[in-house]
Amino acid sequence: LKQSKTMAKYAYAPLNVEDNPRRRSTRYHDQAAENENSDRIVNERMPMCVGVCVLLAIVYVLSRTGEGAIPLPADPNSSSIRAGVNTNSNTNSNSNLPPLVTPDNSVSTSSVSTVTSATTTPTTPCPEYSFNCPTCANDNDHKCDGLVDPSSIDMGVLRAKALASTPPHIIECSAATDGESQSACHLPPQTRFAALGQKGATLWMTGCSGAGKTTIATALEDRLVKEYGKHVYRLDGDNLRTGINRDLSFSEADRAESVRRTGEIATLFADSGVVTLVGLISPYRGDRDEVRKRHEQQGIPFYEVFLDVPVDELKKRDPKGQYARVESGELKHFTCIDDPYEEPLNPEITLKTHELAIEESADLLFRMLERDGILEGAPKLSPPGLPNPDGDEIVDLHVPPHLKAQRVAEAETLPKVLITDIDLNWLQVIGEGWASPLKGFMREGTLLETLHFNSILVDPFNVTGNAGRHERRTDFNNFPSHQPHDRVSMSVPITLSCTSFTKDAIEGSDKRAVALVTQMGETVAILRDPEIYSNRKEEIVSRMFGAIDMGHPYIQTIYSGGDYLIGGEVELLDRIKYNDGLDKWRKTASELMAEFQEKGADTVYAFQTRNPTHAGHAYLMKSAGEDLKTKGFKNPVLWLSPLGGWTKSDDVPLDVRVKQHEEVLLSGTSHPGGLDPATTVMAIWPSPMVYAGPTEVQFHAKSRRSAGASFFVVGRDPAGMKGSAMAVAHQDDDLYDGDHGRYVIQNSPGIGGMKMLSFVKVMYDISDNVMKVPDESRMEDFISISGTKMRLLARNGAVPCSATDIPNDLVEANCIPSGFMVPKGWDGVVDYYKNVDDAERWVPWSRPIIEAPAHFDTVPSGKLGSTSFALKHKQYDSFWHDIPRRPSGQPNNIINFIVEIPKFMTAKMEVQKAMAGNVITQDTNKDGSARYYTYGTTFFNYGLIPQTWEDPSVLSPQGHAGDNDPLDVMEVGDEKLLMGSINPCKVLGSLELIDEGETDHKIICIALSDHDTYRINSMADLDIVKPGTTAKLVDWLKRYKTSDGKPENKLAQETPTSIDEALTIIEETHQRWRALCGKDGSNGYLPGSEGFWLSSPGCKDTLY
């Protein structure tokens, strides 16, 4: 480096022409003279260019340093910048200036860089200095003044001043303003984390040397990367001081700088989504707090992990022999010995590694990350320790209260879709969030993914542009360019079937939604943007069950459904309630998660029940809780989860199970079969049981996660059953291998972090009256009580055995060990099995119990939906005989219409000809069960004309006999009329149905109370005011039994009769009723009337 009075001159080695790519690329390379001239120009001008660049760089640095810049000493003889010194700086005093180099200063030659001169002149040492002055030609044409002695510089002070004067943010884009986050300039964190499947965080492990920082960080890194596929990186003194920190010593200032640099790196790593494990002694609290502050400013999780180990223990460990060197005096200023270590005041977690195994320490850190949702890419939606629902979305599809009236009014205008009670169970599953992220009955694409993969692809944060893909109509022609990254478990089809009748009604409507209506006629939900597709029943059954058994109860349910499926998103108009005395145990997924939070759960494990809970179950549940505590959980909470939806007929009824569970909780820990209510939550899981074995149990586990469970207890043959007599391969034997369910659920796609707890075999220990895992050394003390044996003992009314003398043959002694089940719980089980045939006493599964939509002049009894229900009139002894066929004072075309089935209801209600009072009850199927229409919702009010009878002895012109019932009526107004009400109705015509060889006339009328009655006076008017109504009536009458597997009915003619013809039919059937009652002078009791109740005044009193 040559010095001049005006400007430093930089000399460079001659530039070889062949090494200059710019010269090699010119087409004039053969002009040697010009080349030499160019070289000369380069050699002359290059130092000037470099000098200008250096000048600009220095000016920029100083300008960025601002008020806190540190001026360097200047050559008093020069106004230019030399040797890195700004001679014009006058903004600060010189109190912080480092001293100039003097002849007494000694500086190592390694501290000064040298540059080879252009003339390769060797460096000449300045005679008065002890260091080499680069490129000094001779002593007469240079000065070495203005240089700084590096050994005299306090770099800590310089860094502190520079950092204090540096702006806290460098704005990289216009979207970020001064002093604010720059996240607008980068990929949004939510998108980044969702794509990575994790969030970034820093675990700052601090503690004395040898405390285990590196060891534990390595164990945690190994687990997170290998077992969970997470992005993790470890920063510690070893890998930092070989690179970015290798210029730092162990002085206090350099330690602080090491912590600062590492903190900045960790901040960037964590911001990018990496779980960053930092292992530094970082002895000073203030330095660590600054790193924490930096993370907090950027919204990045920061965990200070204090490895708290006594010094004596550290000296014993001494993995690097450093403590021994300290003891010998070889090492001085060693942290935690003769240099200070400031312990954290409020670390996120403290690890006493001398009391914990390496795996235990790593597990505690893992649980902390898992608890806070760091290992998931989605935002944390659930309380700490509880998992997010599948799809990372809390699903609650109830209409907000302020919109309810609006939605109810809308539903009245929509096409109606019939849902069965099983469909209602599934609707509850969807609407309350148990099948998240599903928001409606499956569309065709979702169903296909479920059937083929037992899972569905989701993109909740639109990372790949596929957000809401399951809420759109299935498109088989256009597919996204990128598949979603995330797959969630969805193993059971959740579909809604319909018939062609409902399909035609939807497709013929201009609405983009439909109303879902129960069998009892209650509108419970709206389904948006319906997608109708073929119900491929065989494909669904084959893939869902993997077994051929046409006697399987849920397979029968699938085959009994309509030929089409409707997919679409739902809105629940109100909370689904069943009014069976068990609603207090029915909680939504969100409500249940809140209850777990109230109990302070740091994890939840679910135990599903389809049977009463005995002491063996209690032992397994309590043992599972203790096992979870050994894994580091402080307060695991048990979710006692009785299945509440549809079950097969021989399963223990829901109310029996729930009431027995109540006694288990009331007994608490005072009985071996009791459970601690402080750590147990009971809540009914609303799903139907489909008995699909390994396929179904995946859904059982996945659904429990939606309410906060991380563990699911799985027994032998979960969700299985024995094959029926119609099974091809497993008649009266398990359809599924008992071990397959547990295997499949552990390895199923999309199950995520859900973990399984397996059953173990337990037996009754007669030595202490406790159920437990048997001791192989004294098997004579253990007896087995199987489910079959328990049911037999309950049916026999077994009483408690002697506590000190328990027989080996319990059945012969007809006693039950006192520790087998809580006493009052056993009493309830005995009561059920002794009265199992009294079906009206029990609640088999969740079916709505509603009050009959009956007129105030009627008196209902029994339970609607069961054979016990009956409706009689307050004023008239008989609906059939005592009410006149016409209202007084009305024209001949007005009849009295008695409502049996209100509009939209599908329960087949009818007047009972043989029962006293001719009350209205529900018709039954051949197996004695209550009968329902399955073709669709009734779009008419249905009932009878009193004092009429279709005499089976009277033949139609086609030779068909009357159906032996009162004359039927289909009322086509808009109003839903009440059951048992008497309504003046204008006759419009009739249709003659041929039903199983019998004539069954249907009178068509419109109630005088209907707002359209003045416009509708004939069937022609009806189709003008309500287009297509006649065609719908014809379709219904011909096909309403086809959905039950029966052939189509026939009509005597496709077109309705005239009003006069209908009135003639009414009059003729009235006369046959008169003959039935003996009012025509005959003695009554005509053929076909055997067993009829004819004792009412209207039938026998001649005044009627």
Question: 301-329 pLDDT, tens per residue?
Answer: 999 999 999 999 999 999 889 899 998 98
Structure confidence at residue 495 (pLDDT): 98
Token pair listed for 647: 């079950």
Residue type present at position 231: H
Token pair listed for 451: 């059937």
118 has pLDDT over 90: no
Angle separating helix axes 213-228 and 358-371, nearest 10 degrees: 60
For residues 728 and 698, give the distance between their C-alpha atoms in angstroms, rounded to a whole number.
Answer: 25
Token pair listed for 150: 């590096």
For residues 462 and 460, give the distance between their C-alpha atoms in angstroms, rounded to a whole number.
Answer: 6
564 has pLDDT over 90: yes
Between 149-153, 218-222, 606-610, 693-697, the lowest mean confidence (pLDDT) is in 149-153
Q: What average pLDDT does range 397-423 have in this prediction?
A: 97
Q: What average pLDDT does range 420-427 have in this prediction?
A: 97
| Mean of pLDDT over the chain | 85
Structure confidence at residue 164 (pLDDT): 76
Structure confidence at residue 1000 (pLDDT): 95
Structure confidence at residue 51 (pLDDT): 59
Q: How far from chain centre, in Å, is Cα 703?
A: 7
For residues 206 and 208, give the distance between their C-alpha atoms in angstroms, rounded to a whole number.
Answer: 7
19 has pLDDT over 50: no
Between 101-110, 279-288, 967-976, the lowest mean confidence (pLDDT) is in 101-110
Provide the CB-side half-sphere exposure for 904 (13 A, CA): 22
Structure confidence at residue 57 (pLDDT): 58
Tens-place pLDDT, residues 584-621: 999 999 999 999 999 999 999 999 888 899 999 999 99
Tens-place pLDDT, residues 996-1023: 889 999 999 999 999 999 999 999 999 9
Phi first, then psi, for residue 85 (nearest 5°) are -110, 130
Confidence of residue 714 (pLDDT cuts 50, 70, 90): confident
Q: What average pLDDT does range 726-737 have in this prediction?
A: 90
Confidence of residue 157 (pLDDT cuts 50, 70, 90): confident
Which of 150, 149, 277 shows the shortest CA–CA distance to 212?
A: 277
Could you tell me which residues are beta bridge partners of residue 23? Answer: none
Q: Which carries the bigger pLDDT value, residue 98 or residue 973?
A: 973
Structure confidence at residue 436 (pLDDT): 95
Q: How many CB atoms lie within 10 A of CB 775?
A: 12
Question: Helix, strand, or coil here: 424?
Answer: helix
Tens-place pLDDT, residues 240-275: 888 888 888 888 888 889 999 999 999 999 999 999
Structure confidence at residue 226 (pLDDT): 94
Structure confidence at residue 333 (pLDDT): 85
For residues 1047 and 867, give the distance between their C-alpha atoms in angstroms, rounded to a whole number.
Answer: 27
Q: What average pLDDT does range 51-56 have in this prediction?
A: 59
How do beta strands 711-714 and 755-758 pair? parallel
Provide the CB-side half-sphere exposure for 459 (13 A, CA): 18
Structure confidence at residue 694 (pLDDT): 92
Tens-place pLDDT, residues 666-677: 999 999 999 999
Helix or strand holding residue 303 (H, E): strand 302-307
854 has pLDDT over 70: yes
The single residue listed with the structure tokens 């309410």 is: 707
334 has pLDDT over 60: yes
The single residue listed with the structure tokens 């002085």 is: 251
My answer on whether omega of the bond before 387 falls inside 30° of 0, hence cis, is no
Tens-place pLDDT, residues 121-137: 444 444 443 444 444 44
Tens-place pLDDT, residues 902-940: 999 999 999 999 999 999 999 998 888 899 999 999 999
Which three-class secondary structure string do you get for 962-976? ECCCCEEEEECCCCC
pTM of the entire predicted model? 0.82
* C-alpha angle 424-430-432 in degrees, rounded to nearest 5: 100
Structure confidence at residue 2 (pLDDT): 38
Structure confidence at residue 174 (pLDDT): 53
User: Is residue 498 a contact partner of residue 418, using CB atoms and an 8 Å limit?
Assistant: yes
Structure confidence at residue 900 (pLDDT): 98
Confidence of residue 191 (pLDDT cuts 50, 70, 90): confident
For residues 388 and 377, give the distance between their C-alpha atoms in angstroms, rounded to a whole number.
Answer: 11
Work out the burial of residue 596: count CB atoms within 10 Å of its CB; fewer than 13 is exposed, 13-18 middle, 19 or more buried.
Answer: buried
Could you tell me which residues are beta bridge partners of residue 206? Answer: 306
Token pair listed for 302: 């920061």
Structure confidence at residue 55 (pLDDT): 60
Tens-place pLDDT, residues 1030-1079: 999 999 999 999 999 999 999 999 999 999 999 999 999 999 999 999 88
User: Is residue 989 a contact partner of residue 1019, using CB atoms and an 8 Å limit?
Assistant: yes
Dihedral-angle region of residue 1030 (phi above 0 means left; psi in -120 to 50 means alpha; beta otherwise):
alpha
Phi first, then psi, for residue 1000 (nearest 5°) are -135, 95
Q: How far apart are the first and last CA of the chain?
A: 133
Q: How many CB atoms lie within 10 A of CB 584?
A: 9
Q: How many CB atoms lie within 10 A of CB 136?
A: 21
Dihedral-angle region of residue 545 (phi above 0 means left; psi in -120 to 50 means alpha; beta otherwise):
alpha
For residues 56 and 41, give the distance between their C-alpha atoms in angstroms, rounded to a whole number.
Answer: 23
Structure confidence at residue 440 (pLDDT): 98
Question: Could you give the strand order of the β-sheet that contains 636-642, starting from the edge strand earlier in sequence?
Answer: 680-682, 636-642, 603-609, 711-714, 755-758
Structure confidence at residue 33 (pLDDT): 47
Confidence of residue 37 (pLDDT cuts 50, 70, 90): low
Structure confidence at residue 163 (pLDDT): 75
789 has pLDDT over 70: yes
| pLDDT > 90 in the chain, percent | 65
Which of 738, 740, 743, 787 shows the shortest CA–CA distance to 762?
A: 787
User: Is residue 392 a contact partner of residue 706, using CB atoms and an 8 Å limit?
Assistant: no
| pLDDT > 70 in the chain, percent | 84
| Number of residues in the chain | 1104
170 has pLDDT over 90: no
